[in-house]
Amino acid sequence: MPGFAIRLARPARFARRLLLALAAVAALVVVFLGVLVLTDGAGSGSGAWLTSLGVGTAAALWRGRRRIRAARLMPFLPVLVAAALTALVCIPTGPTARRLPADLPFVATQHWSLATGSRVAVYHYPPTNPGGRQPVPFVYLNGGPVRGISLVDHRFLQLLARQGYDVYAYEQAGGGRSDMLPMDQYTISRSVSDLAAFIDHLDKGKVDILGFSSGAVVLTRALADPGVAARLNRAVIAEPGPMDGPTAAIAGQKGRPSARGLAPSLTGPRSTNVPRYAAAFGLMRLGLLSPDTGLVGQAEGDNVFTAADLGSDTASAYCARDAHRIPTEDTAQNFSFSPAASLRIQQTVKDSPSIAPQLRLSQTPTMLMMAECSSQVRQWATTILADDPAIQRTQYMPGVGHHMWNGLDDNNDRAAAVITAFLQAEPAPVPNYPTRDDISAFLHDHK
C-alpha cells in the first residue's frame, strides 16, 4: 500500500511542477506583451524581450537560491521556453523593404508626383467608343483606405471606358504601387488634398468622380470643402463609410444579410498565422499599438498582409445568397493592403469634428448609391443624404452587397447604367429611393 501511494504521488508532483512551469511561461509572456504595449514595440520588440528575459532570469535565480547545484537550473527552463516564444514576435519573417506589385499586363502604370508631395500610381483607360465619347474626364476613388485597386474594379473601369468615358484611377498614397508616406502623414485631410492635387495634375478641367467605400468618404469630405468641390462636375458617393467623428460613433443598423459567416473561408497564406504579425496586427486593431509601432514597419506590414488576412470582410461585401459563389476579387500578385496606414486614416476620421455644416453648403450635383445587402452602417449613408442638399437622387441597388460591381450576373452592367444615367442627366433606371423624406421609414423597415 505505501508503494502504491508513492506511485500516485510522483505523477501528482510532476503535474504540479508542469502547471507551475506553464504558469511561469504564461506570466513571462504577459510581461513581454505588457512591456511591448508600453514601449509601442520599440526596436522590433527587443526592449520588451530583454525586459521579460531579465524578469524571468531574476525570478529563476531567486527560486533556485537554496537548491543544490543541479536543481538550480530547473527554474530557468520556463524562462528559456518563454524567451523562445516571445523571440518569434521580434524576428521578421517577411521582407522589410517595400515590394511593389508587378505591373498589370493590360494597363500601363503611370507615376504622378502631386503638389502635396505624394507620388501615386495612376491608371488610364481611354474611351473605346469614339461615337459616344463623354466630354468630362471620369475619376475613380477606390476603397481601402490604403489598398490597391482590385482586378474586379479594373474590369468595371474598363466597362465604363467602353461606354465612352475617359477613365482615370489612382491608388492613394501607400496603397498598391503608390509610394508610402511617413505614418503621421496618413490623414483623411491629406487624402482630400491629394484628390485636389490629382485633378490639378490631370489638368482637364472639372471631373466626374465616383468614390467607393472609404473613397466615398474622401469624396464626401471633398464636397464639404468649397476649394476642392470647385474642381468637381458631378459626384457619385457609393456605399460610404463614416464621414466624420460624430458619424463614426453611430452604432446603427446594416442592410439585408450579407455572406459574412456563411461563405467558405478564403484559402491561401495568412500573415496572422505567424506570431509576429498576429501580435502586431491584433494589438494595432485593439488600439494597444500605434500604427507607427516600432514592432513592425509599414513596409514589412504591407509586404506580408494577404487577402486571406481580411477574413470575413470580403464575404461581408456580398449578399447571403451569393455566399457560395463569391468571385476571386484579386490575385496574390496584385493584392496590396496597408493595415497600419488604413487604421491611421480611419482614426483621423473618428477624431475629426462634424463636417455637416460645411456639407450643407454643397452645390455639386451628387448621387448616392446604397446596396441592398450592405455591410455598412446605414446611418453612414443616410446622414450624408440628410446633410447634403445637392444629392439629386439615391439609387438603392437590389441584389448586391457592398461591392456592387463584382462580375456576378449583370451586376456590373446595372451599376454602370445607374452611374452613366446620372452623369448624363438621364432618367434613373431604378427608383429614386430613399429620399430625404424616406429616411425614417427606410431605417424603421431595416432596408
Domain boundary among 30, 57, 90: 90
The average pLDDT across 79-105 equals 93
- Tell me the HSE value of 190 on the side-chain side, using a 13 A CA sphere: 25
- Checking if the pLDDT of 389 tops 60, the result is yes
Where residue 9 falls among pLDDT bands split at 50, 70, 90?
A: low
pLDDT for 4: 47
To the question of pTM greater than 0.85 for the whole model, the response is yes
In a domain, residue 105? The reply is no
* pLDDT tens per residue across span 105-115: 999 999 999 99
Mean pLDDT of the chain: 92
The Cα–Cα gap between 169 and 107 comes to 11
Domain boundary among 36, 60, 90: 90
Residues 119 and 84 in one domain: no
Q: What percent of the chain has pLDDT over 70?
A: 94
In a domain, residue 124? The reply is yes
> For the chain, what is the domain count?
2
Q: What is the CATH number of the domain that holds 390?
A: 3.40.50.1820
Which residue range forms the structural domain that includes residue 303? 110-444
In a domain, residue 15? The reply is yes
Q: What percent of the chain has pLDDT over 90?
A: 82
pLDDT for 188: 98
> Which one of 1-10, 129-138, 251-260 scores highest in mean pLDDT?
251-260
CA dihedral 226, 416, 345, 349 (to 10 degrees): 60
- Checking if the pLDDT of 285 tops 80, the result is yes
The average pLDDT across 259-267 equals 89
In a domain, residue 95? The reply is no
The Cα–Cα gap between 444 and 447 comes to 8
- Measured CA to CA in angstroms, residue 40 lies from 35, 56, 288, 345, 439 at distances of 8, 21, 8, 19, 44
Residues 70 and 11 in one domain: yes
* pLDDT tens per residue across span 300-359: 999 999 999 998 899 999 999 999 999 999 999 999 999 999 999 999 999 999 999 999
The Cα–Cα gap between 431 and 126 comes to 31
pLDDT for 13: 67
Contact 345, 187 (CB under 8 A): yes
Domain boundary among 33, 59, 90: 90
Residues 291 and 336 in one domain: yes
Contact 392, 255 (CB under 8 A): no
Region of poorest pLDDT, from 9-13, 86-90, 96-100, 287-291: 9-13
In a domain, residue 100? The reply is no
In a domain, residue 98? The reply is no
Residues 159 and 66 in one domain: no
Residues 204 and 269 in one domain: yes
pLDDT for 129: 78
- Checking if the pLDDT of 227 tops 50, the result is yes
- Checking if the pLDDT of 209 tops 50, the result is yes
